[in-house]
Amino acid sequence: MSLPSYRSVHLRVFTVRRFPDAPASESAEVATVLRGTLGRYGAVAVREHGPYWKIPEHLEFTVHLAPSGRVGPVLDALRALAPGGWDDTLERWDSVWTRGDGNPGEVFLHPDVEWAGLTGVEADPVGTPRYRDGDPVRIADTPRNREWEVAGLRGVVYGDADPYGRNRSWRYGVFPVGQDSLVLIDETELEPVTDTERRDRAIASLRGLAVGDALGSQFFVPENRGAFERRETPPGPWEWTDDTEMACSVFAVLDRYGRVEQDLLAALFAEHHDFDRGYGPSTNRMLRLVREGGDWRELAREAFDGRGSWGNGAAMRVAPLGAWFADDLDTLVAQAALSAEVTHAHPEAVAGAVAVAVAAALPPSPPGPFLDAVLERVPAGTVRDGIVEARRLLTIADPSVAASVLGNGRQVAAHDTVPFALWAVARHRDDYVRAFWTAAAAGGDVDTVCAIVGGIVGEPPAAWLAACEPLPTWAGVG
């Protein structure tokens, strides 16, 4: 009789932390002992997960053992290391060992082990893995997953699939959204995340934003002044600025998690911060401090006596988020606020981001109803007052006249930027070229105003997109 072609023993181990200030070194010591002990039975891989997210006083480990012989004798040998305290009745594991449960004084694998789950298989899994490292998934709503408080959550597959799930299925390590520790889920309890329509809308918005930003920035170059006055595009390539760089981080977070994860967004802002892209002094400082370990929550509120910046930075990058959540305006408003707070905590900055995101979600409509729909979602304040004024100025055709009342971004403030950008969009919601030149004609913070306008209108002309610097590969646009 031929042996099965696949053999695997899997363990999940929790130890008590003895040194709270040094979890990494303590974890490494335990992992070394696990490798040494289990290595006697075959090839072993130990994955360290650090403090357990549910019980931070414990360290978590998962172990994959490929035994050199049959699985059954290896399971028996492991159980014999600590004969007392095993429970063989649980659905998830062949055996579970708990310290002190009928086994006083016994040690399993390491003196600090409190709990260990053990299972093994001798069979090929059915088919090939459905998911790969980095794939977004949703964890099914099952009683077991509800018990673990992960039912229904979106997550990301981490690492390769292992063929030791129940009923010969593949099993995956998954990072649920908002958690920093893996859960092990069988393929039968995972569902693919299909955000194709949302993703396509967000990419179109991101491209429109990038082109508006990049082309708008060209008109700060004196040699391009003639092209600006003739409403002609200068020669490419057009390099984008911080507006696009930060919008790419917003998109990357949505693409990975389907929602705003503020800690990750702050980390991406800091990681991809390029000083030469034209960031303002306060943002340069903040992102540098985040890279050095600073807390974005504290840094984002330093301005205006603890209320945070009311600049236009949150509004300039948010349009792709609005396009993503165009099918759910209630969620859109909450997510836009979360995206803003990472760098711009002031209520006016948040209101500006909400206004732009809502505008990016709305389909083309007559100018008045378009702004009315935006106003329904924008909280009271200076930004909202500016949009109300923009609504009154829709009969004005001259961008310079409108900007003289609404502002053109010269103050780099949300209330000085967003109302005029929405005025320009409202007049040309379905015409990228006309909307761009209307926004650019007023001068001021041209690249940011045009980035907002381009992100709301969406997909730019193909020739303009070709002249624009490509989006960074790390954004994952493809």
CA gyration radius, the chain: 28
Tokens of 405: 């009342």
Confidence of residue 194 (pLDDT cuts 50, 70, 90): low
Tokens of 196: 């194709």
How would you label 81-94 residue by residue, b for 16+ Cβ within 10 Å and e otherwise?
ebeebbeeeeeebb
pTM for this prediction:
0.65
In the chain, % of residues over pLDDT 90? 59
In the chain, % of residues over pLDDT 70? 93
* DSSP 8-state code for residue 301: T
Tokens of 244: 């696009």
Mean pLDDT value of segment 396-400? 96
Mean pLDDT lowest among 20-29, 59-68, 158-167, 315-324: 158-167
Please report the pLDDT score of residue 142 as a whole number: 82
Q: What average pLDDT is seen over the chain?
A: 89
Angle between helical axes of 414-427 and 382-392 (0-180°, round to 10): 30
Confidence of residue 9 (pLDDT cuts 50, 70, 90): confident
Measured distance CA(402)–CA(362) in Å, rounded:
23
Q: Which helix (H) or strand (E) holds 121?
A: strand 113-121
Pick 154 or 253 by higher pLDDT. 253
Please report the pLDDT score of residue 128 as a whole number: 73
4 pLDDT more than 70? no
Measured distance CA(259)–CA(27) in Å, rounded:
32
Confidence of residue 34 (pLDDT cuts 50, 70, 90): very high
Query: Torsion-angle region of residue 476: left (phi > 0), alpha (psi -120 to 50) or beta?
Result: left
Measured distance CA(157)–CA(133) in Å, rounded:
5
CB 367 within 8 A of CB 401: no
Please report the pLDDT score of residue 399 as a whole number: 97
Please report the pLDDT score of residue 462 as a whole number: 97
3 pLDDT more than 50? no
Closest-CA residue to 76 (of 13, 123, 9): 9
CB 170 within 8 A of CB 187: yes
Domains of the chain: 1-124 (3.30.70), 126-193 (2.30.30.30), 196-475 (1.10.4080.10)
Q: Which residues contact 282 (CB under 8 A, 6 or more apart)?
A: 303, 309, 311
Please report the pLDDT score of residue 102 as a whole number: 62
CB 153 within 8 A of CB 141: no
DSSP string covering 253-298, please? HHHHHSS--HHHHHHHHHHT--GGGT--HHHHHHHHHHHTT--HHH
Would you tell me how many other CB atoms lie within 10 Å of the CB of residue 39? 12
105 pLDDT more than 80? no
Mean pLDDT value of segment 132-140? 84
Mean pLDDT lowest among 27-31, 190-194, 360-364: 190-194
Please report the pLDDT score of residue 2 as a whole number: 33
Closest-CA residue to 361 (of 458, 251, 252): 458
12 pLDDT more than 60? yes
Express each pLDDT in 452-461 by its tens digit.
999 999 999 9
Please report the pLDDT score of residue 203 as a whole number: 96
Closest-CA residue to 19 (of 30, 8, 9): 30
Confidence of residue 62 (pLDDT cuts 50, 70, 90): confident
Measured distance CA(102)–CA(219) in Å, rounded:
78
Measured distance CA(206)–CA(323) in Å, rounded:
9
Express each pLDDT in 139-183 by its tens digit.
888 887 887 778 877 788 887 777 655 555 778 888 876 566 778
Measured distance CA(102)–CA(454) in Å, rounded:
68
Q: Which residues contact 192 (CB under 8 A, 6 or more apart)?
A: 130, 131, 135, 136, 137, 138
* DSSP 8-state code for residue 233: P
Please report the pLDDT score of residue 150 as a whole number: 82
76 in helix, strand or coil?
Answer: helix
